[in-house]
Structure 1
Amino acid sequence: MIFDLIKKRRSVFPVQYNDKPIAKRDIEKILEAANWAPNHRKTEPWRFKVMTGDKKAKLGEFLSNTYIDVTVKPKQMKSKKLIENPKKAGAIIAICMQRDFSESIPEWEEIAATAMAVQNMWLYCTEMGIGSYWSSPGLIKYMDDFLPMEEGEKCLGFFYIGYTDIEIPEQTRGPIADKVIWMD
């Protein structure tokens, strides 16, 4: 049931991943799930850049070096984490949004559509038994120095994916009744 899958979806962090590789065909299926997200005026604004192999380590080095360069008092632990996390992932998918050149819809709608594409990926990963995590570090504003970006395209974060051996605990939410106002 889709409702059970929605409730089971969790953030699974790179430190929790094992070394089991993710097949390219499985990554392609995850991306195909993203491609079916709803979007206004069919702009399909989501763009993805998949990093595997050595590119993951290069991303970590770029993030760490950029952090050190732009931070007044960089912390060694954070710098190390920026280097290590990408190496632990089976793959990293840069989540990007391509702005409609005619600006026929508000930018927030294209960001929302891209977020819905990521939710599709997240749910599909959950179904496949692949852990996943959306990270949006402040350093994403520098990604055009690392990733090929088209005019009007911006990076919104990274979708880390990897298999895990740990049991993902259930979570709870506050009652929906506390978040809804009915108006007749």
Structure 2
Amino acid sequence: MDKEYLNQLIRERRSVFPAQYNDQPVSKEFIKRLLENANWAPTHRLTEPWRFKVVRGEAKDRLGVFLSDTYTDITPEESFSPFKHKKIKNNCSLASAIIVICMQRDQKERVPEWEEIASTAMAVQNMWLTCAANSIGCYWSSPALIQYMGEFFDLEEGEKCLGFLYVGNYDKEDDISSKRTNIDEKVVWMD
């Protein structure tokens, strides 16, 4: 592998939001490749805690209705935002696919839970880099609504939802630039 390509890929990986997606579908074959690459994330004691639910087609609309209805049910009237309600539903319909990110806790609890969450996050990073390498947009959202996903999906005992990876094609001329502060501000060297 070209090392410079890898450096560039990591630095150019960005969140591409559902509102930026076009109507070109992302193929099922590509989604399978994403999931296979996710499966190669580091995992302490080989617990492989990542679990995914792929939501496509009409199921996206059902998820959007569930999420927007749940938002309505749990939000006090004085805090309710019609804009947010609409955005929740629109994010589901605008994405080509939604990969629900879940973590299955090791039933023997051989490793701390944070390590399993970290492994799952690394699996998502593998998917994110795969999307970036293929000019496919994606965005990891972790709204408060994820705590209600057991009402929509049949989650296993010890399984929890960590968010949604929205996936979609986008027009490449869109500006998705980003910036970071200097790494020197975040590192302490001790020799």
Range into which the TM-score falls when normalised by the shorter chain: over 0.9
Segments of 5+ residues of structure 2 without an aligned counterpart are: none
SS in 1 for 2:184: helix
What is the deviation of 1:171?
Answer: 2.2
Deviations 1:20-45 (A, max 9, x none): 01111100001111001001101000
2:105 is matched with which residue? 99
C-alpha distance in structure 2 between counterparts of 1:123 and 1:145, whole Å: 31
Counterparts of 1:10 and 1:20 in 2: how far apart (Å)? 19
Alpha-carbon distance in structure 2 between the residues aligned to 1:148 and 1:101:
17
Partner residue, 1:19: 23
Q: Distance in 1 between matches of 2:72 and 2:180?
A: 38
RMSD: 0.8
After superposition, where does 1:63-142 map in structure 2 within 5 Å? 63-73=67-77, 74-142=80-148
Distance 1:143 1:119 in 2: 22
TM-score, normalised by the number of residues in structure 2: 0.94
Partner of 2:178: 171
Q: Partner letter of residue 188 of structure 2? A: I
Deviation string 1:47-101 (CA, Å, 9 cap, x unpaired) is: 0000000000111100000010011122211111111110000100000000000
Residue 60 of structure 1 aligns to a residue in which SS? helix
1:6 equivalent in alignment to 2:14: no
TM-score by length of 1: 0.98
Aligned to 2:49: 45
The DSSP-based 3-state class of the residue aligned with 1:49 is strand
Alpha carbons 2:50, 2:119 under 8 Å: kept: yes
Equivalent residue for 1:181? 188
Q: Measure, in 2, the Cα distance between the counterparts of 1:107 and 1:11.
A: 26
- Aligned residue in 1 for 2:33: 29
Which 5+ residue runs of structure 1 have no aligned equivalent? none
2:149 counterpart of 1:150: no
TM superposition shift of 1:133: 0.1
Whole-angstrom distance in 2 between the partners of 1:177 and 1:96: 34
> Aligned AA for 2:163?
G
State the one-letter code of the partner of 2:177. Answer: E
Return closer, same or farther for 1:172/1:75 CA change in 2, 3 Å cut-off: closer
How many residues matched? Answer: 184
Which AA in structure 2 matches 1:3? Answer: N
Contact 1:10 1:168 in 2 (8 A): no
Residue 104 of structure 1 aligns to a residue whose secondary structure is: coil
Question: Mean Cα displacement is larger for which, 62-71 or 168-177?
Answer: 168-177
